[in-house]
Amino acid sequence: MSNLSIYVRLGADVLTEQQMFYGYKAGWGFQILITFSTFLIGFCLAGLFRAIVVVPQELIWPGVLGVTALTTTLHHANQEHVQVRYNTWKISRSAFFAMAFCISFCWYWFPDFIFPALSFFSFPCWIKPESKVVNQIFVFDNAGKTYKVKRIVNAASGYKLDIKKYLAYSPVYMPVTYALNMFGLSFATLSALLVWVVLERRRVMADAVQRVPRLVFGSLPSRCRAYSEDEKGDPDVPLWWYLVVCLLALFMSMFAIEWWNVELRWYGVLLACTVALVFYPPLALVYATSNLKINIDIFCRIVAGFVFEGKVLANIWFFDIGYITTIKGLYFAQDMKLAYYCHASPFPSY
């Protein structure tokens, strides 16, 4: 459950962007509703696709193996045979973990607080700190200062991009590596992902689609005991539980978007959820086999830019519902796999 506090940060970044960069303060009611709804949508994605991305044994989820070993060590589960069969260690696993934890805690103060240059080293700016050319090149700004977004997007413009003010102020300068990574390679990766799913995983996806009627039928209260069991024989969470939570999350997100008027509209929420629903299975399959997350954030921003042209608030919340919910769903599925490895029943995980 401690992992859940980390996932909230992703949605908090969008709230911070809305308030600090664009100056729109929606209030604590909007913050609670939109954060909780995106949180639940990601949870429902993992639950609805659990039979595809969690239960199959070939999907090992490498990122959860270390957590499984650590949890087993801290709880001293099945440790006796380890000491007998492998007699090469001079300290126990718990002692090694405590030593590594203390060393990492002490070392973290140096690159993050005492001497940040250990993590990033801008030596050209140190050599000539007063040179405007050097600082412009290495801070990626045309005037050597932070780009003031409120000069082109603010309450006076209705939180819409003012092209005239943008041209009069300054274009946004970005490094070439950022453009190649976030735009060029992003689209190449998404194209390769879809082709890989069609060529390599089409049978898995087709079998999953064919199992949908049986899963829905088995999730009915009168059929749960006969049909809804995982591979270990434990009763699985009925599918309709996730569907109910999903409908509740959609209502909360639509209400928050419409009541506080962040320009996304209710059909934008449905479109963003559709994007998440389409891309979640292939993204989860890649993450479950290689521990690599493929980003679809640029795709979501471009789709929002076409549908809600010039509306920056609609763009960031389309990004939140379309992309961040997918990332939360991946983390939830990973936690479900952790429970699966630790022989925990699906009901406590739910």
Please count the other Cβ atoms lying within 10 Å of the Cβ belonging to residue 309: 11
pLDDT for the residue numbered 296: 86
State which residues form the domain around 213.
1-71+189-222+236-342
Please count the other Cβ atoms lying within 10 Å of the Cβ belonging to residue 151: 13
pLDDT for the residue numbered 15: 84
Q: Higher confidence at residue 2 or residue 49? A: 49
Instruction: Look up tokens 């429970």; give the residue.
Output: 339
* Interatomic CA distance for residues 287 and 66, integer angstroms: 15
In this model, does residue 28 exceed pLDDT 70? yes
Does 325 fall in a domain? yes
In this model, does residue 221 exceed pLDDT 50? yes
Q: Is residue 208 very low, low, confident or very high in pLDDT (cuts 50, 70, 90)?
A: low
| Phi, psi dihedrals of residue 236, rounded to the nearest 5° | -85, 160
What pairs with residue 229 in β-bridges? 235
In this model, does residue 219 exceed pLDDT 60? no
Residues 37, 253: contact at Cβ < 8 Å? yes
Does 123 fall in a domain? no
Does 321 fall in a domain? yes
Q: Higher confidence at residue 24 or residue 324? A: 324
Does 264 fall in a domain? yes
pLDDT for the residue numbered 218: 59
pLDDT for the residue numbered 241: 85
Per-residue pLDDT tens digits for 302-331: 898 888 888 888 888 998 898 889 988 898
pLDDT for the residue numbered 264: 85
Does 112 fall in a domain? no
Question: What distance separates the 2 farthest-apart alpha carbons in the chain?
Answer: 75
In this model, does residue 214 exceed pLDDT 80? no
Find the Cα–Cα–Cα–Cα dihedral 322, 323, 325, 331, rounded to 10°.
150
- pTM of the model as a whole: 0.76
Structure tokens at 15: 């709230």
Q: How many domains does the chain have?
A: 1
What pairs with residue 160 in β-bridges? 311
* Interatomic CA distance for residues 203 and 302, integer angstroms: 31
* Interatomic CA distance for residues 259 and 313, integer angstroms: 14
Does 154 fall in a domain? no
Q: What is the chain's alpha carbon radius of gyration, rounded to the nearest angstrom?
A: 24
In this model, does residue 335 exceed pLDDT 90? no
Does 287 fall in a domain? yes
Per-residue pLDDT tens digits for 99-124: 888 999 999 888 877 877 777 666 66
Does 121 fall in a domain? no
